[in-house]
Amino acid sequence: MKLVIKDLTKTYKNGVKAIDHLNLEIGTGMFGLLGPNGAGKSSLMRTIATLQKPDSGTITFGDINVLEDNMALRKILGYLPQSFGVYPKMSAEALLDYFATLKGIHSKTERQALIKEVLEITNLYEMRKKYVAGYSGGMKQRFGIAQLLLNNPKLIIVDEPTAGLDPAERHRFLNVLREVGTNCTVIFSTHIVEDVKELCNDMAILNGGRILKQATPTQARLELKNRIWTKTIDRDDLEAHEAQFNVLSSNYNEDNSLNIRVFNDVQPSADFIAVEPQLDDVYFIALKSDEPVAAL
């Protein structure tokens, strides 16, 4: 099923236009919504999840008119907000049982089977008797996925789930999402390029409430082939290079020199060498131009 967003705009009461005439099509699989803080990721996700109304525009998911039939979407939606609030002192198993009952699953055997399944998918089965309140950040995020899986969602929206997770927990969380995303649509927002690289088969870069770029991560990198150049410079020469070249990023070496990455259609000067384009390059080019970049 395809999610189609057309000409969507959302202005808050304070006058901030968080979504600005946005168009986007998202198919089955893992979709990464990449953007810096304040880009409008949460605003877009809350609007798709029918938690707030836009000023104008349309959203459809398959044959559901999302903005007109909120309930039809909510039945097949799994939404994990950026912060989930406070958990009561209940074990994961008991809390899931409570949620499943609220969702109308009245047969105890049915609930038990379902809860076992979602705990196994999220790798929490061994920890099922522990209080969720005492879980680590990563375990709480996986519990968030377990609870949203209870109603077998076709559309899953997770808002910056890896923020604040340590590398091992982040890795575990991404593995869970990868498994969940094989047969439904998962929209996953992040400001970490690496998350998208590891996980997503399609992505969009969002800033200022607009889509600056949509492509598969592989396609986006291929478009930059032979257009990313690097050079090692003295740290004091950075400003001069930034004035002369389209510097995308710079990284310190151990000796305090810098490796700069430059975007240019031809070799900028004889001392630059061509390097393999990375997804970070795609991200920085999109943000720097701050304009939709159909073909870079």
Ligand X SMILES: Nc1ncnc2c1ncn2[C@@H]1O[C@H](COP(=O)(O)OP(=O)(O)OP(=O)(O)O)[C@@H](O)[C@H]1O
| Binding interface with ligand X (CB under 6 A) | 12, 14, 16, 18, 35, 37-43, 160, 191
Nearer to ligand X, 26 or 100 (CB): 26
Nearer to ligand X, 149 or 200 (CB): 200
Helix 108-121 vs helix 167-180: crossing angle, to nearest 10: 130
Nearer to ligand X, 48 or 186 (CB): 48
Which residues, including other chains, have CB under 8 Å from residue 194's CB and lie 6 or more apart?
Answer: none
Q: How far apart are CA 234 and CA 232, in angstroms?
A: 7
Nearer to ligand X, 209 or 277 (CB): 209
CB 133 within 8 A of CB 89: yes
The residue type at 281: D
Shortest Å, Cβ 236 to ligand X: 34
Helix 137-149 vs helix 108-121: crossing angle, to nearest 10: 140
Structure tokens at 105: 């699953």
Nearer to ligand X, 43 or 162 (CB): 43
Shortest Å, Cβ 14 to ligand X: 5
Q: What is the residue-wise DSSP string for 132-185? A: GGGS-HHHHHHHHHHHHHTT--SEEEEESTTTT--HHHHHHHHHHHHHHTTSSE
Shortest Å, Cβ 42 to ligand X: 3
CB 122 within 8 A of CB 146: yes
Nearer to ligand X, 97 or 160 (CB): 160
Shortest Å, Cβ 150 to ligand X: 26
Shortest Å, Cβ 44 to ligand X: 7
| Matching residue, tokens 């998918």 | 121
Q: How far apart are CA 292 and CA 205, in angstroms?
A: 9
Shortest Å, Cβ 282 to ligand X: 18
User: Which region, left, alpha or beta, applies to residue 40 given φ > 0 means left and ψ of -120 to 50 means alpha?
Assistant: left
Structure tokens at 24: 């986007």
CB 184 within 8 A of CB 11: no
Nearer to ligand X, 12 or 84 (CB): 12
Shortest Å, Cβ 219 to ligand X: 24
